Each structure stands twice: as structure tokens, then as C-alpha cells.
């Protein structure tokens, strides 16, 4: 976390370790993630999610296609003032999310089992990690982004063709190459906004 330039509340580190312990336990039965090794979970799940924390804006966040709660649960543990909504259509993943919310005492988080296109609401920030192509993500979930909101799309390589195919009404605001400690793979964060947003 220090190498990411992050200073988190004292209870955040323990909360993340408790989350990983719960994830590892559920993963043995429900196959929530392909990552099995605990140290790899720290790198590929916790640190990968935390790398985008400095780019989160606003007080409400929706994590679309949240799966095992990544990055949404990690961001919620790191910042308990952030109201987080986890969205996934998969029942077993939503059940895990709800158990994590209960076990970790995350009253500011709700887990919703729904298809993204069926969700309603308006969010200051939307996160999506390995969820779909940018055009598809925005087509399905763009209606959830507040007028001046930020969409944080987590990608591996810079997806040039996807950026060229952004739907009308959205634009690329910023892009960042992320250096995730211990991860020998490319990571890009694409920050998208509505075309008229400042």
C-alpha cells in the first residue's frame, strides 16, 4: 500500500485480510475466483483493486459485474464513507457478497443480484473490472452514471479499438498506466465521462 502511495485507516488492513480469508473459504466450494494462492490474492485482488482508489470520485459507487466483490468490496473496506452497490447477475456470487457485507460489518454496502441493464439509480462513480468491452459496458450500464460522474474501467492492455467505438454521449477523460506491486502484467485504468461533463 505504501508503494501505491496509500494511507488507509488502521482497521482497513485487517478488514481486507478478513475478506481474503472469507473469499478463500468460499472459493473452495463455489469457485468464485481462479486465483487460489493467498499471496496471489493479495496482489491480484487487493492491490489491483486499491490501485484505482485515488481515482474514485463522489460519495456513491456502483461496481458492475462485481463477481467476488472486486473492486467494490475492497474500495468499501478502504473508504467507509463511500456508499457502495455491488451488482452481479450470478446468485452464488451475490450470496458471497452479502455474507462478506454481514461478516465484515459493511453497513454502507449493498449487494444486488441483477443484470446491469435492469439496474436503476444514479451513481457518482462506476467501476468495472474485466466485465465486458467498453462499448458493451456503456450500452448496458451507461444510464447509471450521474451527469458529472466518472466511469473507472479497469483493463489489461490499452484497448484501442474499444476506445474508438465508444458510444455517443461518452468520452475518454483520462487514462492511467497502473503499476500494481508484485504484478508482472499490464494494467490500464480508463476514466470515462459523459460528453458534456466537466
pTM for the full predicted model: 0.94
Which contiguous run of DSSP H or E holds residue 184?
A: none
Which contiguous run of DSSP H or E holds residue 81?
A: none
C-alpha cell at 62: 456502483
The domain made up of 11-194 has a fold known as Rossmann fold (3.40.50)
Among 119, 26, 3, smallest CA distance to 73 is for 26
Query: Each residue of 16-43: pLDDT tens digit?
Result: 999 999 998 988 888 777 677 766 777 7
> What is the structure's pLDDT at 44?
74
Q: Where are the domains of the chain?
A: 11-194
Inter-residue contact 158 to 176 (CB < 8 Å) = no
Query: Each residue of 57-72: pLDDT tens digit?
Result: 999 999 999 999 999 9
List the chain residues with pLDDT less than 70: 34, 38-39, 130, 198
C-alpha cell at 102: 454481514
> What is the structure's pLDDT at 32?
75
> What is the structure's pLDDT at 180?
84
What residue ranges in the chain does DSSP mark as E strands?
A: 60-64, 83-88, 109-113, 123-129, 145-155, 170-177, 188-194
C-alpha cell at 172: 475518454
* Cβ-based neighbour number of residue 165 at 10 Å: 13
Amino acid at each position: 500500500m505504501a508503494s501505491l502511495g496509500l494511507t488507509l485507516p488502521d482497521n482497513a488492513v485487517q478488514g481486507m485480510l478478513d475478506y481474503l480469508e472469507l473469499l478463500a473459504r468460499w472459493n473452495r466450494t463455489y469457485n468464485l475466483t481462479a486465483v487460489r494462492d493467498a499471496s496471489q490474492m493479495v496482489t491480484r485482488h487487493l492491490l489491483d483493486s486499491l490501485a484505482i482508489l485515488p481515482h474514485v470520485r463522489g460519495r456513491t459507487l456502483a461496481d458492475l459485474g462485481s463477481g467476488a466483490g472486486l473492486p467494490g468490496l475492497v474500495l468499501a473496506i478502504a473508504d467507509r464513507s463511500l456508499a457502495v452497490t455491488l451488482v452481479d447477475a450470478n446468485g452464488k456470487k451475490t450470496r458471497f457478497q452479502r455474507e462478506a457485507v454481514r461478516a465484515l460489518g459493511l453497513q454502507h454496502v449493498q449487494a444486488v443480484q441483477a443484470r446491469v441493464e435492469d439496474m436503476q439509480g444514479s451513481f457518482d462513480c462506476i467501476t468495472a473490472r474485466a466485465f465486458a468491452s467498453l462499448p458493451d459496458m456503456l450500452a448496458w450500464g451507461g444510464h447509471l452514471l450521474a451527469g458529472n460522474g466518472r466511469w473507472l474501467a479497469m483493463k489489461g492492455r490499452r484497448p484501442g479499438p474499444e476506445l474508438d467505438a465508444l458510444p455517443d454521449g461518452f468520452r475518454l477523460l483520462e487514462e492511467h498506466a497502473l503499476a500494481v506491486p508484485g504484478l508482472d502484467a499490464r494494467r490500464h485504468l480508463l476514466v470515462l465521462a459523459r460528453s458534456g461533463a466537466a
